[in-house]
Amino acid sequence: MPSKWRVTIAPYRRRAPLAQRLAFPYIITRRPEHETLLFVNSLVPAGLPEWIRADICQTMMLEILEGNLTKDRIDYATVSGFVRRIKVENWDYRTVSLDAPIGGAGDLRLVDVFADDPERLWTEP
């Protein structure tokens, strides 16, 4: 097909701009007031899930804003302490074995609770 016909029949389409993938710290345009947050964000390991990284950064920023932590005192040990703290606070997201015994319940396992009749669990004391 001749090029003039191609333009008439199927006009050139502009591509839509690609959407930016926003992740914590949700900053598109860098400003001077963002420097501390970006510094803290750069110290937290990138291999952690995004929601855990956000919690760690926000907890560290809260400590900085309260005056309990300064930017020059942050090192590897400080960051790893915050990582441990957030993981302890979010313990319910850890991997749990269905065959592990439930603490204080004798030989009852978690899989036995799931397999049990839910109606009985709500009606019996």
Q: What is the mean pLDDT of the chain?
A: 80
Q: What is the DSSP letter of 77?
A: H
pTM score, two decimals? 0.58
Which pLDDT does position 115 carry in this prediction? 59
5-45 pLDDT, tens digit per residue, is 776 776 667 777 666 666 778 888 889 999 999 999 999 99
Phi, psi for residue 100 in degrees, rounded to 5: -70, 140
DSSP letters along 20-53, please?
P---TT--SS--GGGHHHHHHHHHS-TTS-HHHH
- Tell whether the model's pLDDT for residue 63 goes beyond 80: yes
